[in-house]
């Protein structure tokens, strides 16, 4: 059975600055996925939402990333085979999101 996964990462950048950071950071994310033998196979931005697809272990996981004023929300459905990795995935996405969205120091 598929497992819904919802991840939120808070930020202090405001929607537009966070959106710019994430759009610029997609290449870094793509490189990191490659190290994990995953591949970003779909990527489509509409306003403040990214629809994506990530291929791993013969499956393509599709989801959305929505940028809001104080948080970023990632939602996806993991196939049952990948559901066992849900917690590790959440931790990894949260960590990378925090790195990309870290407020610059004055």
CA distance 70 to 14: 6
Tell me which CATH code domain 3-89 carries: 3.30.160
How do residues 46-65 score in pLDDT, each as one tens digit? 999 999 999 988 889 999 99
The mean of the pLDDT values for the chain is 89
What pLDDT score does 16 carry? Answer: 96
| Furthest-apart CA atoms within the chain: distance in Å | 47
Domain layout of the chain by residue ranges: 3-89
pTM, rounded to two decimals: 0.85
Question: Whats the size of the chain, residue-wise?
Answer: 106
Element (H, E) at 38: none
How do residues 84-98 score in pLDDT, each as one tens digit? 878 888 888 888 888
């Amino acid at each position: 059975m598929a497992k819904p996964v919802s991840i939120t990462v808070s930020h202090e950048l405001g929607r537009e600055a966070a959106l710019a950071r994430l759009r610029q950071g997609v290449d870094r994310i793509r490189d990191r996925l490659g190290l994990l033998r995953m591949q970003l196979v779909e990527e489509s931005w509409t306003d403040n939402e990214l629809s994506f697809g990530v291929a791993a272990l013969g499956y393509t996981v599709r989801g959305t990333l929505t940028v809001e004023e104080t948080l970023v929300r990632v939602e996806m459905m993991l196939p049952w085979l990948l559901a066992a990795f849900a917690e590790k995935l959440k931790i990894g996405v949260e960590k990378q999101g925090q790195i990309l969205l870290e407020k610059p120091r004055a």
